[in-house]
Amino acid sequence: MRKLVLIICTTFLIASCSKEKTLHYTVTKTLYDSIPVLNIAMKFDAENDGETTLLFQDHAWGETDIHNVLADLESLNEGVEVMKIKDSGQIILKHPKDLETIHFQYKIVQDTKLPITTKKAFRPIVQDEYFHAFSHNLFMLPSNYASSSDSKFNVHIHWKGFDSTFNLINSFGTNDQHQVIKNTDKNHFHSAVFTGGDYRAHEIIINGNDAVLGIRGDWKVFNDSTIVDVLESTLQAQRDFWQDHSQEYFAVTMTPTFLERGTGFQGSGLTNSFATTATNNTYLNLEGLVYLFNHELQHNWTGHIIVNENEEEQYWFSEGFTEYYTLKNIARNRIANLDESYFINELNKRIKALYISPVKEAPNSEINYNNFWTSRDYEKLPYRRGTIFAFYLDNKIRKASNGAKSLDDLMLAIKEDAVSNKQKLSHPYFLSKANEYLTEDLSLFFNKHIVQGKLFDLIGMFNEFDCEFNPTSVVFDLGLTLSEDKKSIARVDENSNAYKAGLRKGDRLTLRSFYYGNPEFKAEFKVYKNGKETHHTYFPSKEAKIPSLKDNDHNKKAVY
């Protein structure tokens, strides 16, 4: 009998210790000082030592001062002191030790002025017509629910007071007034997008699985059906390539932003979703959106399933190889009628951009969080370097196997290891795996061009793979340097097209327009000097000794 009692007590103890934590949120849309805000009410377990910490990052995704979006932080329990510690991204609640459940609420306030530009889209947007936010700057998370990276908990989100005209589209469902997210963790939950309002919901079925496009705004250069077609063909092609139709739900959100001249777009690959913004004007082109959709959707595998061991250290893979397969999958699946010519021309663009970059030979160690988020040159470095490396390795594997294998086989093997063994992408693992497909060790090449950052021998590479190429390329060259406040010209290269167009040092600018990195898009400047305004246009380009692939039938067979 004593043994039976012991077994029963032990079973009870295990059940009590393994009780799942559940986090409750109630979201309502209300007014605060006459402006629309989101009110977030929380219910969660308190720490038994009398101090419970809520996590809400003040610095994330290149943004700073995110705590500015918080207002009216308040505990609904008696005897609770609320302290906001901005530097550590924490809100500390001091409370009685016998308090079991904390009821807490706060408001999310838009802290950016209208109109919304692409740069502002990473901060919460709360308007009468809609809201758009990422979970890390929307939902506070108790630290006792995320004590380690793999701590699991459940989340209940109740959307209160949102009627049927207000579409709710997020990473975990569409138009669910009461959402239950089971067995999630900090990374999974805090890498999500939440939108609501006048987003139009377009449902897509891919091999029996649900996908939804949430799009708002009256777009000037395309209609919804065009984007739906691109999304559907992209999802089908990528899931077929990765041999993975396991995702039962996926959301894509598309939000218009403002830019008077030129175009800009960006996307973020997230949990069960990706969120994109694009400038809604006549400069926006469909080809750019096709690229954006394909790049971000690739991150479902290279970034979410195949995880970097050290985030920035392996950006050459998670961004560079993603970039390569973006171009490759668009072309071989003829998405939006783009073909091998698109692949060759886009590969050339990345080659040229790397070889004229001021950080073109920066070692991989310099691609860190600060440089990546503050410098466009460092941000794009792993994309460009990784794309060329992927091209090299793809053709090296083809050559070693007499065409029987390609980089595709290596990528699928890496994905299988990530799924089956939770294998992370590290340098030693990648080299060991890649060498299984090669007849010579990849280590020296990898250390020279990826770790040390030395430029690739393009002529040797193209000759080795029987590619036809031009010895020179036309590359982007603005030909001038702007002053720090961007209101005047600080320097003009006398050998540039800018100088030939009549622009000079000291000219005060009244208009500037150019597509950074694109030598085929005319630069336009209006300057005020000698008492009058003058108008200057030119192609921001020059010829450089950078080999580029020819867009011909021979290369289409050789490199694709």
| pLDDT at position 516 | 81
The CATH number of 199-300 is 1.10.390.10
> Quick one: DSSP state of residue 308?
B
Alpha-carbon distances, residue 487 vs 484, 510, 514 (angstroms) = 8, 8, 15
3-state secondary structure 415-453: HHHHHHHCCCECHHHHHHHHHCCCCCCCHHHHHHHHHCC
Better-scored residue on pLDDT, 265 or 98 = 98
Is residue 218's pLDDT more than 90? yes
Cα separation of 305 and 29, whole Å? 35
Q: If you average pLDDT over residues 482-492, what whole number do you get?
A: 93
User: Are 209 and 249 in contact, with CB atoms under 8 Å apart?
Assistant: yes
Q: What is the pLDDT of residue 85?
A: 85
CATH class of 20-196: mainly beta
How much is the pLDDT for 19? 61
CA distances for 231 relative to 23, 220, 226, 354, angstroms: 33, 19, 9, 29
Quote the percentage of the chain above a pLDDT of 90. 82
Cα separation of 57 and 65, whole Å? Answer: 9
The CA dihedral of 312, 316, 317, 321, to the nearest 10 degrees, is 140
CATH code reported for the domain at 312-470:
1.10.390.10
14 — pLDDT class (breaks 50, 70, 90): very low
Q: Which residue has the tokens 């790049």?
A: 295
Name the DSSP letter for residue 57.
-
Cβ pair 253, 169 in contact under 8 A: yes
HEC profile of 103-121: EEEEEECCCCCCCCCHHHH
Using the predicted structure, report yes or no on whether residue 178 has a pLDDT greater than 50: yes
Task: Tokens for 294, please give them.
Answer: 């394909």
Spatial separation of the C-alpha atoms in residues 359 and 379, rounded to whole Å? 10
pLDDT digits (tens, 9 = 90+) for 78-105: 999 999 887 778 999 999 999 999 999 9
Rounded to two decimals, what is the model's pTM?
Answer: 0.82
What stretch of H or E contains 468?
A: none
Query: Which amino acid does the sequence have at 84?
Result: K
Q: Report the 10 Å Cβ neighbour count for 125.
A: 21
The mean pLDDT value of the chain amounts to 92
Residue with tokens 């306030």: 109
What pLDDT sits at residue 13?
Answer: 41
| Strand duo 480-482 + 508-513: pairing | unpaired
Fold of 473-544: Pdz3 Domain (2.30.42)
- Which pLDDT band holds residue 143 (cuts at 50, 70, 90)? very high
- What would the pLDDT profile of 419-443 be if each residue is shown by its tens digit? 999 999 999 999 999 999 999 999 9
pLDDT of residue 17: 43
pLDDT in tens, 229-241: 999 999 999 999 9
14 vs 173, residue with greater confidence: 173
- 436-457 as b/e, with b when 16 or more CB fall inside 10 Å? ebbeeebeebbeebbeebeebe
Domain range annotation of the chain: 20-196, 199-300, 312-470, 473-544
pLDDT tens column, 500-527: 999 999 999 999 988 888 898 899 999 9
Residue predicted with more confidence, 90 or 314: 314
The two domains 199-300 and 312-470 share their CATH topology (first three levels equal): yes
pLDDT confidence band for 560 (50 / 70 / 90): low
Lookup: tokens for 434: 């890649």
